[in-house]
Amino acid sequence: MKQWYILHTLSGAEERAKSNLESRVKVYNFGELIEKVVIPKEQVTEVKLGKKKVLERKFFPGYILVYMEMNDDSWLFVKQTPGITTFIGPRRKPTPISQAEVDKILSKAEESKAKPLPKVSFRKGESVRVIEGAFINFNGVVDDIFPEKGKIRVNVSIFGRTTPVELEFWQVENI
């Protein structure tokens, strides 16, 4: 019976470990035992030099998911793959994760493709500078954050009066 397992890899080498495992599965005909190898990623937006970019970020750096049938041969096969250090779980008994957990991770990745999350995080009371839009070069204080909308409310001083302004995350930067 196939189940999902978590593999620990060298940090930053997830892509290489995934590629190594997939190519070994093809070469050694392990396709019936090892079906899928997934690196959970999300889409994030980042502003550099005034340009908005969409990047990929790993949910769990240093870890990949594998859907496989666990037996002594498949366990050893995966363990001997370059870039993979170990299974998550007790030493000789990797612990599977539930399909519901995997579905939650994968659905979060799909949601981020439709609406990428901002890479920058803000906190209430933090000082920021507006870098784009009608209030460019104004400084303000974060009043409220709306991560689901990708927006932030900033209190900006205009002619000596504090005015709340709602902006998109990419329109402001931390000071």
Class (C level, CATH) for 127-174: mainly beta
Domain positions in the chain are 2-118, 127-174
| CATH class of domain segment(s) 2-118 | alpha beta
Are the beta carbons of 98 and 3 closer than 8 angstroms?
no
Residue 120 confidence (pLDDT): 65
DSSP states along 73-110:
HHHHHHHTSTTEEEESSSTTSPPPB-HHHHHHHHHHHH
Q: Which pair of tokens denotes residue 158? A: 């205009």
- Per the prediction, the chain carries an average pLDDT of 88
Select the more confidently predicted residue: 156 or 10. 156
Residue 66 vs residues 81, 95, 111: alpha-carbon distances, Å: 13, 12, 21
What size, in residues, is the chain? 175
pLDDT tier for residue 112 given thresholds of 50, 70 and 90: confident
Domains 2-118 and 127-174 share a fold: no
Confidence at residue 159, expressed as pLDDT on a 0 to 100 scale: 84
The answer to whether 63 and 7 are in contact (CB under 8 A) is yes
Alpha-carbon span 84 to 96, nearest angstrom: 17
Q: Is the pTM value of this prediction over 0.95?
A: no
